Structure 1
Amino acid sequence: MRHNAAILELGPDDAALLRCGLESARMYFRTRPPVAAASRGVYIYRAGRAVEDWDSSPPCAAEVFRCMGKAARAALRAIARHLRLRSDVFDHLLDDTPLPANEVSSSVLVATYSHASLPNGKGAIGGGKAAASGEVEKGLLTLVSSDNPGLQVCDPNGRWYLADSSSAPGDLLLITGKALSHTTAGLRPAAFYRAASESSLGTNGGGRTSLAFRLMPQGNAILDCSPVAAAGHVIPHSYVPISVSQFMDDLSAVEEVMCNQPDTTYVVRNNLNKEPSLRSVLSDPLSGAFLEDAMLVSCGHSFGGLMLRRVLDSSRCTVCNAEIDAASLIPNLALRAAAAAVKHEDDRRLFHNSALRKRRKEMGDHTDPTRRSNRENGETTADDGLHRAVQYPFAVNEKVVIKGNRRTPEKFVGKEAIITSQCLNGWYLLKIIGSGENVRLQYRSLQKILNCQSIEDRCASQPIQHSS
Structure 2
Amino acid sequence: MADRYHAVAPEPISSISPPASEYSSVPIVRVRLSDIIPYEGAPCEAYVKAVESLSGSLTRHNAVLIELDTEDSTMMRCALESARMYFKARTQCSGVGSSSDTWRKSSGGVYTYRAGRALEDGDLSPPCMSEAFKCLGKAARAALYAVARHLRLHSNVFNHLLDDSPLPLNEVSSSVLIATFSQNSLSNGKVVVGCGKAGNSEVEKGLLALIASDNPGIQVCDPNGRWYLADGASGPGDLLLITGRALSQATAGLRPATSYRIVVDSLVSLRFKLMPQSHAILDCSPIAAAGHVIPQSFVPTTVSQFMDDLSAEEDTIFNRHDNYEAHRNFIREPSLRSLLSDSTSGAFLEDAVVVSCGHSFGGDMLKKVIEMARCSQCNSEIEPGVLIPNYAMRAAAVAVKNEDGRRLFHNAVLRKRRKEMAEQMDAPKRLNKEDRELTGDGDALRRSKGVLSPFAVNERVMIKGNRRTPDKLVGKEAVIKSQCLNGWYLLKILESGESVRLQYRSLWKASGSEEGGRSQSSPLIQSGG
For residue 228 of structure 1, what is the aligned residue in structure 2?
A: 287
Residue identity matched to 1:227 = P
Q: Aligned partners of 2:213, 2:87: CA distance in 1, in Å?
A: 15
Shift of 1:122: 3.5
- 1:57 alignment partner AA: S
**What letter matches 2:160 in structure 1?**
H
Report the secondary structure of 1:245's partner residue.
helix
- Residue 262 of structure 2 corresponds to 195
Change (3 A) 1:150 1:409: farther
CA distance in 2, matches of 1:140, 1:213: 11
Partner of 2:296: 237
Whether contact under 8 Å (2:193, 2:199) holds in the other structure is no
1:4 is aligned to 2:72: no
SS state at 1:174 partner: strand
Paired AA for residue 26 in structure 1: R
Structure 1: segments with no counterpart, 5+ residues: 199-206, 268-273, 291-330, 358-388, 396-401, 417-433, 435-451, 455-468
1:221 maps to a residue whose letter is A
The amino acid across from 1:247 in the alignment is F
Answering whether residue 358 of structure 2 is matched by residue 333 of structure 1, we say: no
1:65-144 equivalence runs, <5 A: 65-115=133-183, 120-122=191-193, 127-130=195-198, 132=200, 134-144=201-211
Question: 1:184 Cα shift?
Answer: 0.2
How far apart are the structure 2 equivalents of 1:185 and 1:4? 16
Matched, 1:175 2:242: yes
Tell me if structure 2 keeps the 8 A contact 1:282–1:335: no
Q: Residue type of the partner of 1:79?
A: V
Q: Distance in 1 between matches of 2:220 and 2:130?
A: 28
How far does the alpha carbon of each residue in 1:3-28 deviate from its partner, in whole angstroms, 9 at most, with x for none? 22111101111111111111111111
Q: Report the CA distance shift for 1:39/1:222 in structure 2 as closer, same or farther (over 3 A).
A: farther
Separation in structure 2 between the aligned mates of residue 16 and residue 345 of structure 1, nearest angstrom: 59
- What CA deviation, in whole Å up to 9, does each residue of 1:54-110 have, x standing for no partner? 212111010000000010000000000000000000011011111111111111111
Which runs of at least 4 in structure 1 moved beyond 6 Å after TM superposition? 36-39, 281-285, 287-290, 407-410
The residue type equivalent to 1:165 in the other structure is: G
- Bigger Rg over Cα: 2
What CA distance in whole angstroms lies between the structure 1 residues aligned with 2:379 and 2:198? 31
CA distance in 2, matches of 1:173, 1:114: 17
| Shift in CA distance, 284/111, structure 1 to aligned 2, threshold 3 Å | farther
The amino acid across from 2:192 in the alignment is G
Q: Is the 8 A contact 2:218 2:261 kept in 1?
A: yes
Letter of the 1:90 counterpart: F
Matches within 5 A, 1:48-447: 48-115=116-183, 120-122=191-193, 127-130=195-198, 132=200, 134-198=201-265, 207-261=266-320, 264=323, 277-280=335-338, 333-334=376-377, 411-415=422-426
Q: CA deviation at 1:258?
A: 2.0
SS in 2 for 1:143: strand
Report the Cα distance in structure 1 between the residues aligned to 2:85 and 2:259, rounded to whole angstroms: 30
Q: Quick one: distance in 2 between partners of 1:275 and 1:116? A: 30
Calculate percent identity across the aligned residue pairs: 58
Tell me by how many angstroms 1:282 deviates.
Answer: 8.8
Q: TM-score, normalised by structure 2?
A: 0.52
Give the aligned residue type for 1:252: S
Q: Secondary structure in 1 aligned to 2:271? A: strand
Where structure 2 has 5 or more consecutive residues not aligned to the other structure, the ranges are: 1-57, 97-105, 348-373, 381-388, 428-433, 435-482, 486-529
8 Å Cα contact 1:85/1:231 also seen in 2: yes
Amino acid paired to 2:310:
L
Would you say the 8 A contact 2:199–2:321 is kept in 1? Answer: no
Give me the whole-angstrom Cα distance separating, in 2, the residues matched to 1:131 and 1:114.
11
Quick check: 48-57 or 210-219, which moved more? 48-57
The residue type equivalent to 1:105 in the other structure is: S
Structure 2 CA distance for partners of 1:279 and 1:36, relative to 1, 3 Å: farther
1:152 corresponds to which letter in structure 2? Q
Q: Secondary structure at the match of 2:308?
A: helix
Kindly tell me: are residues 411 and 250 of structure 1, through their superposed partners in 2, closer, same or farther at Cα, counting changes over 3 Å? same
CA distance in 1, matches of 2:250, 2:95: 39
Native 8 Å contact 2:279 2:304 kept in 1: yes
Corresponding residue of 1:373: none
Hey, what's the Cα distance between the residues in 1 that align with 2:208 and 2:342? 21
Residues of 2 paired with 1:43 and 1:153: CA distance?
23
Greater alpha carbon shift after TM alignment, 254-263 vs 211-220: 254-263
Question: Alignment RMSD, CA only?
Answer: 4.2
Distance 1:86 1:336, change over 3 A: farther
Q: Tell me the secondary structure at the aligned position of residue 179 of structure 1.
A: helix
Q: Does the 8 Å contact 1:14/1:67 carry over to 2?
A: yes
| 1:345, distance to aligned residue in structure 2 (A) | 6.6
Q: CA deviation at 1:332?
A: 8.5
